[in-house]
């Protein structure tokens, strides 16, 4: 068979949507999307339910074909040559199911064979991948009896087998327990020498693991930039922090915090925590921290809340 | 050649082998395979017990029939469905084709297993062909098990050799299986629901084509050359000695059938029998057309929820 390989000019891993469009009857799920992500980094793909994230990713993986435009991986159009386009791209779209009477080891072996992992390497790769998702103990049990989260762990493992340059992840932590989510975060962080394109609703996760974000709504791209730029531009210029106290916060403490110069709003998020919104123009986070400490009111923790969330909420006003 | 790590492509042929291997493993371990095996064994046990206890004339021949004649009668009744019997071999072929092929593709959509397999550097056609071979291997095992049991019985009552007609009949049954599996795969590409595609396969092969054959012959007076079950008739015809004539026309006094000409209004019905080459042609044509159709449908089909 023809071994086309990647085109010679693709030095950096890349994903590119060119006027990418998908319509279902009269409904447009993805509308003329133009987006090029390139380089070794993690890009978060954000947007409300029904925005068209999964639809876009399905077009990148050949699960559906575009109504118009093209989806390219490493410069190769997926519709024209899916096999070449996905040669160095691993994917996890929605929550796949595995043939129920296969074991994780067998299912992953199948993918290793399809993806051309050398026979001598397969065992090691599968062991490593299963180890990363903490499924080693289950490697020879039939997948059919697994819980949703256990299956998703195997799905995550399936993206780690062939040393891909590009990884497309559609809400990879769906169905995982808190530890599982944190493990997936660590896995994605460890993939920093590749291009990871990941959709997620967990903004804390995205802030932690991604350097850039692309936001879409109603099938249209709203913004694509680094997280810092997006936050600076769209988070309303302000910031917010959550402050934890040793004992229950009383009204007096709350009033004192509110009087610190530059503080716009103080609210109790629970008995021992205050959420403070401040005006970044008149006060820096550092000054605020000093001010709160200076009150000697028993503050013990100080956590910056996600600017990404503020940016998201200001960009995406009404959903659906 | 891929220059970067992990970018080497695997040949489609070896991907077909991979898909076949793991799909067969999945079939072989699933309950369905054993249910099918149990059905075959049940039919076999009933057949064996029936023949052993009642020693029916239809199976063992009238006393005095030369053994060379009677042995064909046995295989005809137990396997081929001659003499008005249900063709057990066809039943086995249809059930296996429906069981292993009826949801092969629709299951990838309905059970979401396609989301694991399809978004990989593999052509959809390689997945289709690989799955088809896996289903063929699984259903061939079922067919062979049944054939062996029939042969065991045959050799018990008619020791010596298995007649060449049965060997051919077995081969034709396998060709029928190939065509039927192609047809059921096409159905499974057409529908998104597994149960509907299995049900449609069974209904079509078990009843609809049979009715179409009869209506075509008896009412319209046309040879049903376009029907897969008509082509599969060679499985039983080969067990009849001498081989049945291509067309047999009987005149009937009753108001049944069709009038040959309006000037000469007496009623006739025609019975057609496909010759071996014609039957094989029909089966191969079914295989080719439905394989192309099913493949085309699968390649175009969208993974939408
Ligand atoms: N087969 C289909 N027929 C009609 N509309 C569809 C079909 N598939 C998806 N859609 C529509 O396309 C839109 C985009 O869906 P998509 O699954 O891409 O959203 P998403 O951004 O992934 O949302 P979520 O965050 O909920 O996963 C939705 O409005 C959905 O209703
Ligand atoms: Mg989605």
Alpha-carbon distance of B14 to B23, in angstroms, equals 14
Closest to A153 measured CA to CA, from A124, A173, A182: A173
Provide the pLDDT confidence category of residue A145 given band limits of 50, 70 and 90: very high
Q: Where are the domains of chain B?
A: 13-300
Q: What pLDDT sits at residue A320?
A: 43
Provide the pLDDT confidence category of residue A236 given band limits of 50, 70 and 90: low
Phi, psi of B115 (to 5 degrees): -70, -20
Interface check A163 vs B, CB under 8 A = yes
For residues B224 and B279, the answer to whether their CB atoms sit within 8 Å is: no
Cα-to-centroid distance, A209 and ligand 2 (Å)? 19
Stretch(es) of chain A classified as CATH 3.30.70.100: 235-315
Stretch(es) of chain A classified as CATH 3.40.50.300: 14-231
Average model confidence (pLDDT) for chain A? Answer: 89
**Which of A8, A85, A102 is closest, CB to CB, to B25?**
A102
Q: What pLDDT sits at residue B253?
A: 57
**Which of B18, B113, B118 is closest, CB to CB, to A62?**
B118
Q: Residues 20-39, chain B: which have Cβ within 8 Å of A?
A: 21-23, 25-26, 29-30
CATH of A235-315, one of 3.30.70.100, 3.90.1150.10, 3.40.50.11900, 3.40.50.170: 3.30.70.100
Q: Indicate which atom in ligand 1 lies nearest the CA of residue A57.
A: 18
Mark yes or no for CB contact A96/B9 under 8 Å: no
Mark yes or no for CB contact A82/B26 under 8 Å: no
Q: What pLDDT sits at residue B1?
A: 38
- pTM for the full model? 0.87
Q: How many CB atoms lie within 10 A of CB A298?
A: 13
Q: What pLDDT sits at residue A242?
A: 82
Q: Which residues in chain A have their CB less than 8 angstroms from residue B6's CB?
A: 87-88, 115-117, 162-165
Would you say domain A14-231 falls under CATH 3.40.50.300? yes
- Best of B14, B22, B35 to disrupt the A interface (most A CBs within 10 Å) is B22
Phi, psi of A143 (to 5 degrees): -60, -30
A262 vs B39, more confident:
B39
Q: Residue A56's closest chain B neighbor by CA? A: B304
Mean pLDDT, to the nearest integer, of A57-76? 96
Residue B156 has pLDDT above 50, yes or no: yes
- Best of A11, A24, A83, A154 to disrupt the B interface (most B CBs within 10 Å) is A83
Residue B133 has pLDDT above 90, yes or no: yes
Phi, psi of B85 (to 5 degrees): -85, 155
Residue A1 has pLDDT above 50, yes or no: no
- Best of A2, A54, A88 to disrupt the B interface (most B CBs within 10 Å) is A88
Closest to A293 measured CA to CA, from A241, A227, A233: A241
What are the pLDDT digits (tens) for B265-297? 566 778 899 999 999 999 999 999 999 999 999
Cα-to-centroid distance, B49 and ligand 1 (Å)? 58
The two structure tokens encoding residue A189: 């962080």
Decide whether any atom of ligand 1 lies within 6 Å of the A26 Cβ. Answer: no
What are the pLDDT digits (tens) for A100-114? 999 999 999 999 999
What are the pLDDT digits (tens) for B42-71? 988 888 888 888 788 777 877 777 777 788
Q: Which residues in chain B have their CB less than 8 angstroms from residue A9's CB?
A: none
Note the ipTM here.
0.85
Cα-to-centroid distance, A52 and ligand 2 (Å)? 7
Min Cα separation B296/chain A (Å): 14
Percentage of chain B exceeding pLDDT 90: 57
Cα-to-centroid distance, A308 and ligand 2 (Å)? 20
Q: What pLDDT sits at residue A229?
A: 86
**Which of A87, A102, A165 is closest, CB to CB, to B9?**
A87
Q: Residue A8's closest chain B neighbor by CA? A: B3
Provide the pLDDT confidence category of residue B85 given band limits of 50, 70 and 90: low
Residue nearest to atom 1 of ligand 1 (CA): B304
How far CA A187 is from CA of A133, A134, A192, A221, A319, in Å, comes to 8, 11, 9, 27, 31
What are the pLDDT digits (tens) for B162-216? 899 999 999 999 999 999 999 999 999 999 888 999 999 999 998 899 889 888 8
CB-based burial of residue A167 (10 Å sphere; 0-12 exposed, 13-18 middle, 19+ buried)? buried
Q: What pLDDT sits at residue A233?
A: 78
Angle at A173 between CA A75 and CA A69, to 5 degrees: 25
What are the pLDDT digits (tens) for B137-155? 999 999 999 999 999 988 9
Q: Indicate which atom in ligand 1 lies nearest the CA of residue A55.
A: 18
Alpha-carbon distance of B101 to B36, in angstroms, equals 13
Provide the pLDDT confidence category of residue A273 given band limits of 50, 70 and 90: confident
Q: What pLDDT sits at residue A286?
A: 81
Residue nearest to atom 6 of ligand 1 (CA): A24
Q: What pLDDT sits at residue B240?
A: 87
Q: Indicate which atom in ligand 1 lies nearest the CA of residue A171.
A: 27
The two structure tokens encoding residue A289: 């921290």
Q: What pLDDT sits at residue A161?
A: 94
The two structure tokens encoding residue B91: 């039943």
């Amino acid at each position: 068979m023809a071994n086309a390989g990647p085109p010679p000019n693709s030095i950096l891993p890349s994903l590119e949507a060119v006027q990418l469009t998908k319509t279902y009857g009269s409904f447009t799920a993805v509308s003329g999307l133009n987006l090029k992500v390139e380089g070794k980094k993690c890009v978060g793909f954000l947007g409300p339910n029904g925005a068209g994230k999964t639809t876009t990713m399905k077009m990148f993986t050949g699960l559906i074909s575009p109504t118009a435009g093209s989806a390219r991986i490493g410069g190769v159009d997926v519709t024209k040559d899916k096999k070449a386009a996905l040669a160095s791209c691993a994917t996890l779209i929605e929550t796949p199911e595995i043939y129920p009477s296969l074991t994780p080891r067998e299912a992953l072996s199948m993918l290793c064979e399809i993806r051309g992992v050398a026979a001598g390497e397969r065992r090691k790769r599968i062991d490593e991948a299963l180890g990363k998702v903490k499924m080693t103990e289950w490697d020879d049990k039939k997948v059919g009896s697994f819980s949703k989260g256990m299956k998703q762990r195997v799905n995550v493992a399936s993206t780690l087998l062939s040393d891909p340059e590009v990884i497309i992840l559609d809400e990879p932590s769906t169905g995982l327990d808190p530890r599982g989510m944190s493990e997936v975060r660590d896995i994605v962080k460890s993939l920093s020498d590749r291009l990871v394109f990941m959709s997620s609703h967990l903004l804390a996760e995205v802030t932690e693991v991604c350097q850039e974000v692309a936001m879409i709504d109603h099938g249209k791209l709203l913004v694509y930039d680094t997280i810092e730029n997006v936050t600076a531009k769209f988070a309303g210029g302000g910031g917010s922090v959550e402050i934890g106290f040793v004992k229950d916060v009383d009204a007096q403490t709350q009033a004192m915090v509110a009087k610190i110069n530059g503080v716009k709003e103080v609210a109790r998020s629970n008995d021992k925590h205050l959420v403070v919104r401040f005006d970044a123009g008149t006060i820096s986070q550092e000054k605020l921290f000093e001010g709160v400490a200076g009150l000697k009111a028993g503050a013990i923790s100080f956590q910056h809340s996600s600017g990404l969330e503020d940016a998201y909420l200001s960009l995406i006003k009404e959903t659906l | 050649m891929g220059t970067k790590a992990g970018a080497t492509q695997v040949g489609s042929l070896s991907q077909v082998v991979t898909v076949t291997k793991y799909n067969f493993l999945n079939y072989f371990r699933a309950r369905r395979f054993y249910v099918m095996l149990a059905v075959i064994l049940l039919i076999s046990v009933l057949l064996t017990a029936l023949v052993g206890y009642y020693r029916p004339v239809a199976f063992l021949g009238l006393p005095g029939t030369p053994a060379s004649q009677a042995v064909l009668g046995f295989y005809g009744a137990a396997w081929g469905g001659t003499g008005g019997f249900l063709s057990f071999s066809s039943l086995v072929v249809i059930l296996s084709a429906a069981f292993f092929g009826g949801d092969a593709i629709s299951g990838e959509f309905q059970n979401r297993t396609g989301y694991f397999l399809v978004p990989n550097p593999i052509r959809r056609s390689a997945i289709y062909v690989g799955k088809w071979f896996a289903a063929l291997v699984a259903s061939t095992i079922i067919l062979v098990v049944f054939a062996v049991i029939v042969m065991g019985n045959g050799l018990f009552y008619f020791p010596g050799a298995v007649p060449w007609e049965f060997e051919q009949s077995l081969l034709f049954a396998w060709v029928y299986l190939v065509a039927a599996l192609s047809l059921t795969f096409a159905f499974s590409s057409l529908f998104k629901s597994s149960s509907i595609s299995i049900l449609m396969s069974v209904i079509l092969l078990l009843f609809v084509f049979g009715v179409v054959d009869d209506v075509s012959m008896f009412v319209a007076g046309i040879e049903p050359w376009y029907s897969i079950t008509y082509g599969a008739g060679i499985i039983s015809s080969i067990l009849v000695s001498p081989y049945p004539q291509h067309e047999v026309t009987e005149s009937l006094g009753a108001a049944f059938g069709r009038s040959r000409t309006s000037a000469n209004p007496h009623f006739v019905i025609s019975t057609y029998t496909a010759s071996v080459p014609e039957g094989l042609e029909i089966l191969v044509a079914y295989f080719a057309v439905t394989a192309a159709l099913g493949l085309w449908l699968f390649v175009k089909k969208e993974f939408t929820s």
